[in-house]
Amino acid sequence: MSIRRDKDQWEKITQQALDEIIASHELFAKGQMGGTRAKLKFIDMSYLDLADRDLRGADFTGALLCHAEMQSALLAEANLFGADMRSAQLARADLSRTDLRGACLAKADLTRANLEEADMREGQLLSTKGVGGDLNNLAPDVTATGLEQATARGANMSGARVSNSFIVQTDLTDCNLSNAKFIRANLSLSNMTGCNLEGADFTEANLSGAIFHGASFSGTLLDHADLTGADLIGAVFDGMDFTNVDLNDSKVAQTIDKLDKSIQQIVHDHVEWVASNGKKGERADLSVTNLAGADMSKVNLSAANLSYAVLGSADLSRSEMIMSDLTFVDLRNAQLNRAVLRGAKFLRATLDDASFVGADLSSVIIASRAGGGEWRTSMDHARARRTQFNGANMTNGDYVGTDFTGADLRDADLSGSLLQDADFTDADLRGTNMNKTDRRGAIGLKDVT
């Protein structure tokens, strides 16, 4: 990747000189005597190290920061207007309320960065040259500003202004994009798996070919947006209006009438398949099927494929789904009370307001003749907000990154489970057993011993 350099516009700085400027700025940022605000306009800092430094409010207008090391840097309210940050390492950096208008972040790493209320709209650096004072673009070799082919997994972009930006083929997995403005932005072919899109504005945006598995659309504005060829399988919709949206060739869950057989026949054949160890019948494949509101109580769908299915408000109480695949399933408001779900996979499932009272979510011990080992229930990165797990057996499960906000976990047994980075904010944990759990990075557990 070439880096633009023009001796009349950009001045190369050494690491030592930069460290001295930053040291003075850190005093300034902390309100201490002797500090001076860093003014790094049109300075070439490509490949230099700014990681873990306090650069709040610093001026980087038009600076070159290509391939710069900026992990965990504090850049809140900094001025990065027109900065060239291609391939910069910005993982976990704080860029909240930062001016990034006209900045180029192509192929940058913004994993878990904080871009809350950042201004990422288009912009151009101009200068006057010649006798006539004509305006000239100072960055003629950068064809597009924005986040093209960047990685921003788990970044917080809530309230960010990204209108008219170029975000093609960008990995936005698990980003918080709530209330962000993407008006006329180009996000084609981007991966938006698991994104929170609540209140986001994508008016006239190009979302063609984008992937939205497990993304949450709630009050999201899509007026005249282009979703041609977008993959919406597993996405969750609430309060949405698709009247003026181009959904041509987009992928969505199929309806029951599109199935080759009736639900009753599928279940019957599956029970026969289970009973005969696969010699008779046929494994149930209800993946990518809309079964919202269906009565499937007491059915045996163990080892069935229900991935990407829509089962909102369905009755699955007392059902058996041992080792079933429920990846990306939509189970909002569903009833799974006293269901046997041992070893089931709920990866990135949406379980908001569902009821798992008394359910068995424990692991399955595989017989030695079948290879041995343990098949654990997994809800990694699932949403289980306000979900009821009262008295549920959740022992030895995987709940990494699960959102249990407001969940009722009274008397639930989570002993031996992995709870890294799980969110228990406002969850009712009275009587919850968390013995021998791995809680690294989990939040909302300050009163739990």
Write out the residue range of the structural domain in which residue 223 sits: 172-252
Question: Which neighbouring-strand residues pair with 156?
Answer: 114, 176
Contacts of 81 (CB under 8 A, 6+ apart): 61, 62, 99, 100, 101, 102, 103, 123, 125
> Would you state the pLDDT for residue 424?
98
Q: Looking at the predicted structure, is the pLDDT value of residue 136 above 80?
A: no
Q: Which residue has the tokens 């057996």?
A: 393
Interatomic CA distance for residues 141 and 119, integer angstroms: 22
Instruction: State the pTM of this model.
Output: 0.88
> Would you state the pLDDT for residue 372?
66
Q: How many other CB atoms are there within 10 angstroms of residue 369's CB atom?
A: 6
**By mean pLDDT, which of 288-292, 330-334, 370-374, 394-398 is the weakest?**
370-374
Q: Are residues 200 and 134 in the same domain?
A: no
Written as six digits, the tokens of 416 are 């031996």
Going by pLDDT thresholds of 50, 70 and 90, the confidence category of residue 140 is very low
Q: Looking at the predicted structure, is the pLDDT value of residue 2 above 50?
A: no
Interatomic CA distance for residues 175 and 216, integer angstroms: 11
Q: Which of 252, 275, 307 is the last residue of a domain?
A: 252
Interatomic CA distance for residues 319 and 296, integer angstroms: 7
65 belongs to a structural domain: yes
- Rounded to the nearest 5 degrees, what angle is found at the Cα of 356, between the Cα atoms of 256 and 214? 55
Give CA separation, 343 vs 222, 233, 309, 347, 396, in Å: 38, 23, 18, 12, 10
Q: Are residues 120 and 242 in the same domain?
A: no
Q: Are residues 335 and 194 in the same domain?
A: no
> Would you state the pLDDT for residue 446?
77
**In the chain, helix, strand, coil percent, each to 5?**
10, 20, 70
Task: Indicate which CATH number applies to the domain containing 371.
Answer: 2.160.20.80
Q: Are residues 337 and 440 in the same domain?
A: yes
Share of the chain above pLDDT 90, in %: 83
Q: Looking at the predicted structure, is the pLDDT value of residue 91 above 90?
A: yes
Q: Which of 252, 285, 300 is the last residue of a domain?
A: 252
> Would you state the pLDDT for residue 370?
59
Q: Are residues 209 and 62 in the same domain?
A: no
Q: What are the counts of helices (DSSP H) followed by strands (DSSP E) for the chain?
A: 2, 10
Q: What is the per-residue pLDDT across 245-286, written as a single tens digit (0 to 9) for each?
A: 988 899 999 988 888 899 999 999 999 999 998 999 999 999
Q: What is the per-residue pLDDT across 405-421, written as a single tens digit (0 to 9) for each?
A: 999 999 999 999 999 99
102 belongs to a structural domain: yes
Q: What are phi and psi of 111, to 5 degrees?
A: -55, 125
> Would you state the pLDDT for residue 258?
86
DSSP string spanning 165-183?
-B-TT-B-TT-B-TT-B-T
- Side-chain-side CA neighbours of residue 427 (13 Å): 32
Over residues 55-59, the mean pLDDT reads 98
Over residues 376-382, the mean pLDDT reads 97
Q: Looking at the predicted structure, is the pLDDT value of residue 338 above 90?
A: yes
Q: What is the per-residue pLDDT across 425-446, written as a single tens digit (0 to 9) for each?
A: 999 999 999 999 999 999 999 7
